[in-house]
Amino acid sequence: MSVLVDENTRVVVQGITGGEGKFHTEQMLEYGTNVAAGAVPGRGGQEVAGVPVYDTVHQAVEAEDANASVVFVPPAFAADACFEALDAKGLDLVVAITEGVPTQDMSRVYRKLQETDTYLVGPNCPGLITPGVAKLGILPGNIFSSGNVGLVSRSGTLTYQVVDNLTDRGLGQTTAIGIGGDPIIGTGFIDALELFEADPDTHAVVMCGEIGGEDEEEAARYIGANMDTPVAGFIAGRTAPPGKRMGHAGAIVSGSGTGTAQSKITALENNGVPVGDTPEEVADHVEDLL
Amino acid sequence: MRLHEYQAKQVFADAGVPTPASRLAETVEEAVAAADEIGYPVAIKAQVHVGGRGKAGGIELVENAEEAREAAENIIGMDLKGYHVRTVLVEEAVDFVNELYVGVTMDRGEGKPVAMVSTKGGVNIEEVAEEDPDAIAREHIDPAFGMHPFQARKVVYDAGVDRNLANDVARVLQTLYQLWDDRDGSDVEVNPLMITSDDEVIAADAVMNIDDDALFRQPELAEMGEEAADGDELEQKADEYGFDYVRLSGNVGIIGNGAGLVMTTLDLVDHYGGAPANFLDVGGGAKADRIANALDMVFSDENVDSVVFNIFGGITRGDEVAQGINQALEQFDEIPKPVVVRLAGTNAAEGMEILNEDLVTVEHTLEDAVQRAVDYAGEVDK
């Protein structure tokens, strides 16, 4: 019924005493997420929204049996927070919400990630949600509904838009994952697609990409070669001029024709993935695929 | 953030990369004086963030004071691919027999840095990468260890650099990697690295792009970057307000939250037959003032004939957005351009109640909002 997040997910919130950390801990608890602990150096022994705080992630994992973490730590310390989470045995999933993490820092985190079995989602992402069960991150819970469509997206607000179009048609979701738009991220499209392919309750997948990089092209080839579950796609940035950075660090089109919206759309369509011109059309395609 | 050539060269020279004698000049007089001092021949080079400056007339090689004056007059103040040239670098002309390309960048696909050397220097390296990828030798660097000296040598030998020069070129590459690593570079390049008849290596150009997200720990470079800013007036205004903003050529102004959603809004404007005037992302959690600033920005663009607001709140709250829109529009006796608003997500209902519907057109779906804004812009054209 879901990937990565279910009723057994026990979360430690890194940076729980900060403004964002506190607010979204409350939101997550309200949604039903099992927030088991917080971790903030020097704040061990305190409580936030009834959740016990520890000085280190290691202590939190040991004391509260946490198996996932959400990072709400400022950019300068975010990589260190990720390293701490990856070093704590027992965490299967780390979700880094922080925006503006230096790329070289992420390069080192990514290097460490290869030595572990942990999934790192983000950074600069809205997180992930299994509707009706739990959300890890900042997604607005009320627009999601439970169902059989998996969703993976590089952009947060675009995720909300597409989910809104799906929910409107009665197309509920198994899990929606915002993987983030930075140049180097942990869990990528292919990791997420693999998980959805293996989930018997996910009957169709929506993949939302954007200009920049070649991850969508690689994902398209993966879908063509490995997936039985049908996929519908959307690519943002068709009108973006080459050489200009459009918000996301990764969303820049090089002049040479790679990483463009058209190259991504073509790659998807060549591998049997219908691509919507508008979010509404994506919902049309999903209806057809189910 | 990109440094100007003269700034990057200073950083390179301080780190021990050989560079030609040079001086920065802001006026024709300064340029001629600098050329006289350095000794002819010299190159006069426009300092703007544009590739292919030479072909576009932004670099001239001169033999005497008269030519220097003429070149400086041509270049200072010229418009180079949309950028106004304010300063030139006057630089000793290097007598070279060969040109190399040497650079370090982040390979985002691999998630790790890559060092590159090519004997096809002196030309547009992106074209070489496309037409003859084998002409560029590459070596991926493990970010946990940094570049080992053997890796610098390996990529230099792989590129087929002359054996007599290999150590010097490897040393330049090693220095560039160190700079890339210490200074949070995204691209650090020398093209061309000139080889003189005495087998000396000299960096005749210098590129240094810094990761914007790391500027908090590179205060010295951040300051240089402020000096180097040369976008148009609106883009500089966007910097002051702290928006992600890109000016485009159409007439439908676009404001939204989140890069992916704003790009999607641009694409829909195009889809419904309109032309986007800009990309403007107010970012997450924008408060009323920020929304008002965004409207001020888009109204300042004289090409804009209508504005569409597309907000899907997660962290951002619809009531804050509505307040900002009211705040910005209530100061006008007459609204300068029609504004279409679409609010969804967190506190959207509260926002709709607050929003002054005498000032804006409300639409409930993304598609309807975009269509309406395109219609308004089209009516102005007629």
For chain B, what percentages of helix, strand and coil (3-state, to nearest 5) are there?
40, 25, 35
For residue A178, give the H/E element and its range.
Answer: strand A173-178
Count each helix (H run) and each strand (E run) in chain B, helices first.
13, 18
Q: What is the pLDDT of residue B173?
A: 98
Whether the Cβ atoms of residue A148 and residue A172 lie closer than 8 Å to each other: yes
**Of A83, A101, A13, the residue nearest A50 (C-alpha):** A13
When CB atoms are compared, the residue of B108, B270, B366 closest to A183 is: B108
Cα A37 to Cα A85: distance, rounded to the nearest angstrom:
13
Supply B186's token pair: 């995204």
Q: Give the pLDDT band (50/70/90) at residue B382.
A: very low
Cα A45 to Cα A35: distance, rounded to the nearest angstrom:
16
Give the DSSP letter string of B101-123: EEEEEEETTTTEEEEEEES--SS
Q: What is the pLDDT of residue B228?
A: 60
Closest approach of chain B CAs to the CA of A101, in angstroms?
Answer: 6
Across the interface, do A247 and B184 touch by the CB < 8 Å criterion? no
**Greater model confidence, A249 or A82:** A82
- Mean pLDDT rounded to a whole number for chain A: 95
Which residue of A lies nearest to B183 if distances are taken between CA atoms?
A104
Pick among A83, A116, A161 to test the B interface (most B CBs inside 10 A):
A161
Cα B181 to Cα B148: distance, rounded to the nearest angstrom:
13
- Give residue-wise pLDDT tens across range A117-138: 999 999 999 999 999 999 999 9
Percent of chain A with pLDDT over 70: 98
Across the interface, do B216 and A75 touch by the CB < 8 Å criterion? yes
Whether the Cβ atoms of residue A138 and residue B316 lie closer than 8 Å to each other: no
Cα A217 to Cα B160: distance, rounded to the nearest angstrom:
33
When CB atoms are compared, the residue of B217, B248, B367 closest to A280 is: B367
Q: What is the pLDDT of residue A247?
A: 79
**Of B124, B131, B373, the residue nearest B265 (C-alpha):** B373
Q: Give the pLDDT band (50/70/90) at residue B238.
A: confident
Across the interface, do A278 and B248 touch by the CB < 8 Å criterion? no
- Find the distance separating the first CA and the last CA of chain A, reported in whole Å: 16
Closest approach of chain B CAs to the CA of A40, in angstroms?
Answer: 22
Cα A145 to Cα A168: distance, rounded to the nearest angstrom:
10
Cα A245 to Cα A177: distance, rounded to the nearest angstrom:
24
> Which residues on chain B are in Cβ contact (under 8 Å) with A278?
268, 271, 366-367
Q: Which residues of B have a catalytic role annotated?
A: 101, 189
Characterize B18-31 residue by residue with b for buried, 16 or more Cβ atoms within 10 angstroms of its Cβ, and e for exposed: bbbebbbbeebebb
Q: Can you give the length of chain B in residues? A: 382
Establish whether A285 is a catalytic residue.
Answer: no
- A259-263, B1-5, B281-285: which range is least confident on average? B281-285
Q: Does residue B313 sit at the A interface (CB-CB below 8 Å)?
A: yes
Supply B323's token pair: 């307040």
Residue type, B226: E
Across the interface, do B214 and A183 touch by the CB < 8 Å criterion? no
Question: Which whole number is the average pLDDT over A53-68?
Answer: 97
Closest approach of chain B CAs to the CA of A230, in angstroms?
Answer: 23
> Which residues on chain B are in Cβ contact (under 8 Å) with A140?
313-314, 345-346
Supply A120's token pair: 């790192």
> Which residues on chain A are in Cβ contact (under 8 Å) with B251?
none
Q: What is the pLDDT of residue B5?
A: 93
Residue type, B37: E
Q: What is the pLDDT of residue A187?
A: 97
Which residue of B lies nearest to A23 if distances are taken between CA atoms?
B315
Residue type, A65: D
Q: Can you give the length of chain A in residues? A: 290
Q: What is the pLDDT of residue B82?
A: 75
Cα B258 to Cα A148: distance, rounded to the nearest angstrom:
26
Cα A211 to Cα A239: distance, rounded to the nearest angstrom:
10
Q: Does residue B268 sit at the A interface (CB-CB below 8 Å)?
A: yes
Percent of chain B with pLDDT over 70: 98
Across the interface, do B261 and A278 touch by the CB < 8 Å criterion? no
Cα B48 to Cα B156: distance, rounded to the nearest angstrom:
30
Residue type, B287: K
Closest approach of chain A CAs to the CA of B259, in angstroms?
Answer: 5
Whether the Cβ atoms of residue A131 and residue A177 lie closer than 8 Å to each other: no
Supply B169's token pair: 């070129």
Cα B325 to Cα B291: distance, rounded to the nearest angstrom:
6
Pick among B264, B364, B365, B371 to test the A interface (most A CBs inside 10 A):
B264
Which residue of B lies nearest to A254 if distances are taken between CA atoms?
B126
Supply B212's token pair: 């914007």
- Give residue-wise pLDDT tens across range A216-261: 999 999 999 999 999 999 999 999 888 788 877 778 776 666 789 9
At CA A144, angle to CA B326 and CA B373, rounded to 5?
A: 35
User: HSE of A228 in the Cβ direction (CA atoms, 13 Å)?
Assistant: 4
- Give residue-wise pLDDT tens across range B67-124: 999 999 999 999 887 788 999 999 999 899 999 999 999 998 899 999 999 999 887 7
Which residue of B lies nearest to A27 if distances are taken between CA atoms?
B315
At CA A241, angle to CA A235 and CA A246, rounded to 5?
A: 65
Closest approach of chain B CAs to the CA of A126, in angstroms?
Answer: 9
Rounded to a whole number of angstroms, the CA Rg of chain B reads 25
Instruction: With H, G, I as helix, E, B as strand and everything else as coil, classify residue B300.
Output: coil
Query: In the predicted model, is pLDDT for residue B381 greater than 60?
Result: no
Give the DSSP letter string of B161-187: --TTTHHHHHHHHHHHHHHHHHTTEEE
Across the interface, do A104 and B112 touch by the CB < 8 Å criterion? no
Closest approach of chain B CAs to the CA of A142, in angstroms?
Answer: 8
What is the ipTM metric for this complex?
A: 0.91
Q: What is the pLDDT of residue A274?
A: 98
Whether the Cβ atoms of residue B192 and residue B100 lie closer than 8 Å to each other: yes
Across the interface, do A238 and B258 touch by the CB < 8 Å criterion? no
When CB atoms are compared, the residue of A100, A214, A237 closest to B109 is: A214
> Which residues on chain A are in Cβ contact (under 8 Å) with B261?
155, 157-158, 160-161, 236
**Please, where are the H alpha helices in chain A?**
19-31, 57-64, 75-87, 103-113, 156-168, 189-198, 215-226, 261-270, 279-289
Whether the Cβ atoms of residue B307 and residue B328 lie closer than 8 Å to each other: no
> Which residues on chain A are in Cβ contact (under 8 Å) with B366?
161, 278-279
Which residue of B lies nearest to A247 if distances are taken between CA atoms?
B259
**Greater model confidence, B53 or A172:** A172
Q: Give the pLDDT band (50/70/90) at residue B33.
A: very high
Count each helix (H run) and each strand (E run) in chain A, helices first.
9, 13
Alpha-carbon B258 to chain mean position: 20
Q: Does residue B363 sit at the A interface (CB-CB below 8 Å)?
A: no
Cα B74 to Cα A118: distance, rounded to the nearest angstrom:
59
Cα B333 to Cα A33: distance, rounded to the nearest angstrom:
49
User: What is the count of residue pairs from A and B with beta carbons less than 8 Å apart?
Assistant: 168
DSSP state of A245: B
> Which residues on chain B are in Cβ contact (under 8 Å) with A254?
126
Residue type, B167: N
Q: What is the pLDDT of residue B49?
A: 81
